[in-house]
Chain A
C-alpha cells in the first residue's frame, strides 16, 4: 500500500517542483563548491608545508636507507643491505631494549605530575611557590641540564655527598656507571626536566573540574588518593591521554641532548637510545645509509607505540560523547 501511495504521489511531487526551491538548491551547491574551494585554499599552505617538510624528508630518508654510503663518497644502491646490517647489529638491539626500558617508566611520567598538580589544585601550603618551582626545570635547556647532572651524579658529586651525610651511604652508588642505574638516572633527569610541563598541563585540565564535585567527594569521606584515582583521574582522562602521548615522544625521541651531555650513550651502550644511534651512525661513523635505516626503524617503533596511546585517547573521547 505504501509503495502504491508513493508511486501515486511521485508524479505529484514532480509536478509540484518549486523553481524557487530549485534555485535555492543550486545556489547552495555553488555556495558549497565555493566553501570547499575556500577551505581548500586555507588547507593548501599547510598541506604544502607538510609535504615539503614532513613527507619529502621522510621519503628521502626511506630512499637513503636503501643506499650504501662510504664516508662522504657518492652513494650506491644497496637494496636491503642496511636493514640486514641493522638487524644483525647488537648495538641496535641494545638501543631498542634501552628504549623499551625507558618507556616502561611511562606510568611514573604520567602519575607524578598529576599528584603534584592535584596538590597545587588543593592549594596545599606553599602552592604558589611550588607552582613556579615545578615549572622552572622545564625552562632550562636540556643540554645545560645534562651538564649540571653530570656533576651532581658523579661518584663524589653533591648527591652522594648528601646521601652520605644523612646516613644513606648505601644509596650513594655510582649512578652513571651501572648499566641499569645509568639508564634510570638518565630517565629520571629527563623526567625532572620535563615534569613541570606535565604539572601545568594537568592544572589547566583541573581548572575545568567543578569544586563542588571535589567538595562532595570529601564530604563523603574520600581521602587524597581516593579523590585522585576515583574522581580526578576519570574526569581528566583526555588530558592524561594527551600528556601520555607527549611523554611517549619525549622518552623515545627527545632525549638526545640529555644523552649527549650526560652520558654520550655510555657506559658501553647502556644509555644509547635509537635516536642517539641514528646520530652517531650518520655523523660520526659517516654511514648515512645505515643511519637512515635505523631512523626508519625508530619511526615505525614510535608510530606503533604512539598509535596505541592515541587510540586509547580516541576510545576515551568517544565514550565521553
Chain B
C-alpha cells in the first residue's frame, strides 16, 4: 500500500466520519424538538378575553411557566359573538379543550359539552368567595362544570365632568328613579345624552334587566325564574318590563339606542364624554379601569342603579355573579392538562394578575389587598359589592334574552306596548328548552 493510497484511504475515512458526525448531529437536532413536542401537551382555550389582551398574555405566560409540559393556544372571540362560535363546536362535539361561559343558566344549558370537575380540581373552589354559578342550579353539592376567577356584576358609572357641566353635584349622584329623571332633564339641557345605552344583542338582558328586577323580585322569585316557574304575566315581571320601558320612554337615552349594541357602541358614547351615565359591569371590559383610563380616574364615579322601589328587599343590593367560568370540554382528549388550566384559573396567582393587570375584582380570598389599584370608582364598587344578591340576568334563557332586547327596541320606538311585550316574553319562556317543565 503506498502512502498516497493510505492518504486517500484516510481522507475517505475522515470524510465518512464527518458525514456520520453530520448525520448524527442533524438527527439529534431533529430529535430534540420532536422529543420536546412529544412531551408537550397543547390545549386550546376558547374565550372572550375577559380582562383584556395584556392580562391574558400574562395569564398564559404564568401558567406555562408553572406547567412547562403544557402549551396554551388561545381562541379569542368577541363577547357578543361568542355564542355563535361556541354553538357549532358544541353541536359537532369537537373543538377546544377548555371553554368559557357565563355562570348560571348559560353554563347549565351547555353542561353536556363540559366534563364534570373532579374533586381535586374543585378543591381550588374553597379559596373563592363563591363558585356556585359553575354548579348545577347554583348548588355546590351538585355537579360542577367550571370554576370562576373574577367577580362580576352591574353598576352605573357616571362622568363627574358632565354632571358638573349640567349643574349637578358630582359627589351626590341620583339615588332614586325620580332623582334620575330630574338629573336627565338637566343633562339633556346641555346637549348631552343622559344614559348611554344600546339595546341590540344580549346586553339589555345581562346589564340592564337585573338592575330593574332587584326592585320587584326576591331571591326566591329569581330561583323560580331559573326553574321556569315565574311567568312573565306575573305583576312583578310586568313591573320590571315597565321599569325598563320607562328608561327609553322618558327620553334618557341616545336616539340610536334601538339599533346599536352596548358594546362597543353604547360604551363608546360614554367613553367619548358625550353621556352622563352608563350601566355596565365591574370587571373584564368597559369597567372602572377602562373608563378611568379614557375619562381620567378623577372624572369617574360608580353607583348602584337608582331605585324604583326604595323599600324593596333587594333594592340596595348588588347583582353579582362569578364573572365567567372555565370548564373542560367533554370531548377533549387532553383532560388532565385542561383540568390543570381550570384549577390555575381559580388560583391565587391568576387572581393577583387579574387585579394588577386588568383591574379586575377577584373572587379569590387570598389576594393581597395592597395590590389593588387606587381609584375612587373602584373604592365605590368595593362598597357596593358588600351586599350581593343573585344576578337575574344570567337566569334568562337565550329565547328570553333575545325577546327582551327585541321587545325593548320596539317599545323604545313606540311600536309595541308593554302588554304585548309581556306576551312575547311569556312565549319565549314557553319556548325555552332549558325551562320547559
Contact = CB atoms under 8 A, between A and B. Distances in A.
A73 B112 contact: yes
A154 B87 contact: no
A223 B213 CA distance: 67
Nearest to A279: B84
A156 B91 CA distance: 41
B91 A285 contact: no
A306 interface: no
A155 B255 contact: yes
Interface stretch (B309-317, B353-361, B410-418): B410-418
Contacts of B111: 72
Contacts of B255: 155-156, 174, 177
B90 interface: yes
B374 interface: no
Contact of A283 (B83, B260, B434): B83
Interface stretch (A45-53, A187-195, A261-269): A261-269
A179 B258 CA distance: 11
B409 interface: yes
A27 interface: no
Contact of A69 (B113, B256, B433): B433
Interface in A158-198: 174, 176-179, 182
B398 A267 contact: no
B284 to A, nearest CB: 21
Contact of A264 (B90, B261, B413, B434): B261
Given A70-B434, A283-B88, 9 more contacts: A156-B255, A174-B255, A176-B256, A177-B255, A178-B413, A266-B409, A267-B258, A279-B84, A286-B87
Contacts of B110: 71-72
B258 A177 contact: yes
| Chain B contact surface mostly | helix
- For chain B, the bracket of interface size reads 35 or more
Contacts of B397: 285
Interface of B: 83-84, 87-88, 90-91, 109-113, 199-201, 255-256, 258-261, 265, 397-399, 402, 405-407, 409-410, 412-413, 415-416, 431-434, 436
B415 A286 contact: no
Interface residues of A, number: 32
For the complex of A and B, 9 pairs with smallest distance between CB atoms: A283-B87, A176-B259, A267-B409, A268-B410, A70-B433, A72-B112, A267-B258, A285-B398, A284-B398
A286 to B, nearest CB: 6
20 contacts: A71-B109, A71-B434, A72-B91, A154-B256, A154-B260, A155-B255, A266-B200, A267-B410, A267-B413, A268-B406, A269-B406, A282-B87, A283-B83, A283-B88, A284-B83, A284-B87, A285-B402, A285-B431, A285-B432, A288-B91
Contacts of B83: 283-284
Interface in A256-306: 263-269, 279-280, 282-288
A85 interface: yes
Residue from the set A85, A178, A269, A283 with the largest chain B CB neighbour count within 10 Å: A283
Contacts of A174: 255-256, 259
B109 A72 contact: yes
A269 B265 CA distance: 20
Contacts of A285: 397-399, 402, 431-433
A73 to B, nearest CB: 6
Contacts of A280: 402
Residue from the set B90, B91, B255, B406 with the largest chain A CB neighbour count within 10 Å: B406
Interface string A84-111: 0100000000000000000000000000
